[in-house]
Amino acid sequence: MLYPLPVVMVSVADRAGNSNIITVAWTGTVCTNPPMLYISVRPERYSYGMLRDTGEFVVNLTTKKLAYATDFCGVRSGRDVDKFCCLGLHREPADKVSAPMIAESPVNIECRVRQIQELGSHHMFLADVVAVHVDDKYMDNRNKFHLRKAFPIVYSHGEYYDLNQILGTFGYSIKKKKNESNKEKYNQKK
């Protein structure tokens, strides 16, 4: 019941250069320094063998424009269809891993597997982030990233949701308003 979840498209490749895209909702950040994340994948998925064999993948963030492709890549098998061709997505070479990036994604995170935990229905691929690519159109002149401009999506109980309203920024709950102390704000909430 830990919802909503990020939903990402993970691109992989085998040693012969064949690539695939798998949709993953079991994913997240696990460490800042060194930068690490995880994805969890069922062993029966077509991409699982590629992941296990090469130990490399790319996490591609999803957007409202990519919602259809995100769903398609989660319900169709790469055994049966080339998802890149079928969806009109473009493979872009990664800098540090053999798996391709999805050019249409606003953020591509190149990863190298550090450890595989066989947990049950899913195996967790704990990975080091070895490179991050961000589409320049989401960066401002101060080099700040604005993902909201890409209209990110999340997944909850079989449904995809747009995620674009900002409710606050980090630390806004304790910022002082003009002429008001934190103690006064706290007492007002009581």
Neighbour count for residue 95 (Cβ, 10 Å): 11
Q: What is the residue extent of each domain of the chain?
A: 5-189
| C-alpha of 148 from chain center | 14
- pLDDT confidence of residue 130: 98
Prediction pTM value: 0.88
CA distance 113 to 55: 5
Tell me the average confidence (pLDDT) per consecutive run of 10 residues in the chain, 190 residues long: 90 96 96 97 97 98 96 95 97 98 98 98 98 95 91 92 76 74 54
- pLDDT confidence of residue 172: 81
- Domain 5-189 fold is Pnp Oxidase; Chain A (2.30.110)
- pLDDT confidence of residue 174: 84
Neighbour count for residue 24 (Cβ, 10 Å): 26
Neighbour count for residue 163 (Cβ, 10 Å): 15
- pLDDT confidence of residue 1: 74
Torsional class of 80: left (φ above 0), alpha (ψ -120 to 50), beta (otherwise): alpha
- pLDDT confidence of residue 162: 87
- pLDDT confidence of residue 139: 93
Residue 21 token pair: 């895209």
Strand partners, 12: 20
Residue 122 token pair: 């899913």
* Residue 173, CB-side half-sphere exposure with 13 Å CA sphere: 4
Neighbour count for residue 33 (Cβ, 10 Å): 5
Q: What is the DSSP string of the chain?
A: ---SEE-EEEEEE-TTS-EEEEEE-SEEEEETTTTEEEEEE-TTSHHHHHHHHH-EEEEEE-BSTTHHHHHHHHHS-TTT--HHHHHT--EE--SSSSSPEETTSSEEEEEEEEEEEE-SSSEEEEEEEEEEEE-GGGB-TT--B-GGGG-BEEEETTEEEE-------TTTTTPPPTT--HHHHHHHH-
Give yes or no for a cis peptide into 106 (omega within 30° of 0). no
Neighbour count for residue 18 (Cβ, 10 Å): 11
